[in-house]
A and B are shown apart, each in its own frame.
Chain A
């Protein structure tokens, strides 16, 4: 019974459901470029975290004025989220990102030591 009294309110335990954004990933000799579609998300609604080799991209949709009764809705949930395992050659300190019209572009440059180099035969 003591377990039951400790139960948190449903609001606190409710699992947040996420929409998985569509992604394009390109690779070149300098690093990787991720393009993530998060329509409805403004620049300040983006959260990028890098921890233990995992890159987590989260987007919160900006509040919009009430447009009335929903006749039909195809758009996804309020929150976007996607997690990527990163290539260990990426330099986390150099990760850069920009947001333009709901398109998040993340540039993941490789560390200098991991870039391909030309070796001249002496």
Chain B
């Protein structure tokens, strides 16, 4: 898992419609439209938390391998993408509700962060990205002297 800087300016901010991307892909392929813009593949569920010191992003991705993730940070935009490979199975499929292949989620962070201090962990099928806030973005206590 690498944290790399993302250089493309084409990145799109998070919109609720990203969650519909599997549906959109299906429609696009049915209608034979090409290029669905910023949304590609499927979109895993994402949570975003914030406290005084850091921003935490959690992405639900069961059954992945650490090396199949890609994280990129450009200013206040975090992109989590990767590939989930299907296990090779024999026999017939009775039910197929899981998504495989490439996915991508982009989120606009609520605060400036220190790019070189970002840490990511993958445990129990959840990718957790902890982004410490930049000093200037942290809330400051201002003392007011009253006469």
Contact = CB atoms under 8 A, between A and B. Distances in A.
Contacts, number: 108
Interface residues of A, number: 32
Contacts of A62: 124
Interface stretch (A4-12, A33-41, A89-97, A113-121): A33-41
Contacts of A28: 90-92
Contacts of A76: 45
Contacts of A40: 60, 124-126
A100 B87 CA distance: 13
Given A26-B92, A27-B94, A40-B125, A101 B51 contact: no
Interface string B84-102: 0001011111111111000
- How many B residues are at the interface, by size bracket? 35 or more
A24 B98 contact: yes
25 contacts: A24-B97, A25-B93, A25-B95, A26-B92, A27-B92, A28-B91, A37-B63, A37-B98, A38-B62, A39-B60, A39-B61, A41-B125, A67-B49, A68-B49, A68-B54, A70-B48, A71-B50, A72-B48, A73-B48, A74-B47, A75-B45, A75-B47, A101-B64, A102-B60, A102-B126
